[in-house]
Copies of this chain bind each other. A is one copy, B any other.
Amino acid sequence: MPVSEIDTLGRDAKANAARCLEDLDTPCLVLDTDRMARNVTRLRSRLASHGVCLRPHLKTGKSVEVARRTMTTPQGPATVSTLKEAELFAAAGVTDLIYAVGIAPSKLAKVLDLRAKGIDLAIVLDTVEQAEAVAAASRAAGHSIPAFIEIDCDGHRSGVLPNDADRLVSIGRVLADGAELRGVLTHAGGSYAAKGIEALQACAEEERRSVVDAATILRGAGLPCPVVSVGSTPTAHNALDLTGVTEVRAGVFVFFDLVMAGIGICHVDDIALSVLATVIGHQHEKGWILIDAGWMAMSQDRGTSRQAVNQGYGIVCDGSGVPYDDLIVADANQEHGIIMVRPSSGGQLPDLRIGDRVRILPNHACATAAQHDRYHVVRGTSSVVEGEWPRFGGWS
């Protein structure tokens, strides 16, 4: 069972507590918990000043240890992207969860199983068909499943348009017959492509207004709408006004990454996650250094390729996590990374020898972390590995 795997890895971790980064097999994932703690405090303080609750998205960490340091209480609230996350975090004591991907009717049995164990797991939907399935399943089980209506605030993915009163009220009325309308929820995914602070502030206001408008329509039709949920790391860090919003969801803020640095939400030295790699070769005449971290270790996320500065597969740092000037993993195969000085920069190739260690900062923390089964925990520039934290993947 997954939970026992977690316990086992947790115990192994303690036995390894005295190791240094130099002792680790490469490639592997390194987490700087000093940076993570700073990132968590920063968003918590910001939202506290607005008087709204943080419901962190646990899909970034997929780790009980990370979740415990991200949530405001051991019981939550929190957000998940798969029912496996819901099951594993529930087993670890989290009781207040939203599964924030549109529900498939075949998944309702698992939702009811978790609710029967006392987990307040809410779901998300945006069609009358889904609402009918949820209401029918609730009636059959004699247990109301709480559901959010997803709102489409920026056209990037799913959701009901915030001014589509007919569809909002239809969904709400179908849910009222056996299920529970918990509220409205949106995600400003478009904010990842925003350029500049004013654009980010505009995304945040659009996100806020869309759910507040939808909530107003539902309440005006006599339907309940207790929770008004928004969320994305860029908007969470840029919203000027959260009036009418009751909670904010965000995920990648916990680690940050080069995409977030590229749109100005964090600095490169806020990024808590890196991949430790070993130099395995050179092509001197081409200015290449080869390492044993390819796309399998970094993921194929090239999010910064659409930004002003393309970071390739990641920024190269020395073993203590300090970036070299203009040095990136410019190309990658499955288990090979090719380090180069950024084209048309003034950077110089450092004198890295076979066997030397580097750390690579990722484009997208969620994607890179997903390629690994554990975090090697360090604090700041120390090379002491304080422990190993397991992480999980998959869907069932």
Q: Confirm or deny: A183 has a beta carbon within 8 angstroms of a beta carbon on chain B.
A: no
Q: How far is the CB of A389 from chain B (nearest CB, A)?
A: 15
The reply to whether B278 and A354 contact each other, CB–CB distance below 8 Å, is no
The reply to whether A158 and B355 contact each other, CB–CB distance below 8 Å, is no
The reply to whether B103 and A280 contact each other, CB–CB distance below 8 Å, is yes
Q: Confirm or deny: A394 has a beta carbon within 8 angstroms of a beta carbon on chain B.
A: yes
The reply to whether B278 and A127 contact each other, CB–CB distance below 8 Å, is no
Q: How far is the CB of A342 from chain B (nearest CB, A)?
A: 19
The reply to whether A395 and B26 contact each other, CB–CB distance below 8 Å, is yes
Spot the interface stretch: A32-40, A43-51, A367-375. Answer: A367-375
Residues of B within 8 A of A129 (CB): 353-354
Given A295-B367, A334-B366: A396 touches B101 (CB 8 Å cut-off):
no
Q: Confirm or deny: A287 has a beta carbon within 8 angstroms of a beta carbon on chain B.
A: no
Q: Which of A9-39 contact B (CB under 8 A)?
A: 25-28
Identify which of A104, A157, A366 gathers the most chain B CB atoms within 10 Å of its CB: A104
Spot the interface stretch: A196-204, A236-244, A296-304. Answer: A296-304
Residues of B within 8 A of A383 (CB): none
Q: Confirm or deny: A323 has a beta carbon within 8 angstroms of a beta carbon on chain B.
A: no
Given A104-B26, A336-B158: A367 touches B127 (CB 8 Å cut-off):
no
Q: Confirm or deny: A281 has a beta carbon within 8 angstroms of a beta carbon on chain B.
A: yes
The contact of A354 among B127, B283, B302, B373, by CB within 8 Å, is: B127
Q: Which of A264-285 contact B (CB under 8 A)?
A: 278-283
The reply to whether A367 and B300 contact each other, CB–CB distance below 8 Å, is yes
The reply to whether B102 and A395 contact each other, CB–CB distance below 8 Å, is no
Q: How far is the CB of A72 from chain B (nearest CB, A)?
A: 23
Measured between alpha carbons, how far is A393 from B82 in the docked complex, in Å? 20
The reply to whether A102 and B333 contact each other, CB–CB distance below 8 Å, is no
Provide the A372-389 mask, 1 if CB < 8 A to any CB of B, else 0. 110000000000000000
Q: Confirm or deny: A247 has a beta carbon within 8 angstroms of a beta carbon on chain B.
A: no
Provide the A343-361 mask, 1 if CB < 8 A to any CB of B, else 0. 0000000000111000000
Residues of B within 8 A of A280 (CB): 101-104, 130, 158
Q: Confirm or deny: A81 has a beta carbon within 8 angstroms of a beta carbon on chain B.
A: yes
Residues of B within 8 A of A26 (CB): 104, 106, 395
The reply to whether A157 and B333 contact each other, CB–CB distance below 8 Å, is yes
The reply to whether A28 and B104 contact each other, CB–CB distance below 8 Å, is no
Listed in ascending order, the chain A residues whose CB lies under 8 Å from chain B are 25-28, 59, 81-83, 101-107, 110, 126-127, 129-130, 133, 152, 155, 157-158, 189, 278-283, 286, 290, 292, 295-297, 299-302, 333-336, 338, 353-355, 366-367, 370-373, 393-396
Q: 6 tightest A-B contacts by CB?
A: A102-B280, A300-B300, A25-B396, A104-B278, A129-B354, A102-B281
Inter-chain pairs besides A27-B395, A300-B301, A300-B367, 4 sampled, C-beta below 8 Å: A26-B104, A28-B395, A102-B280, A104-B355
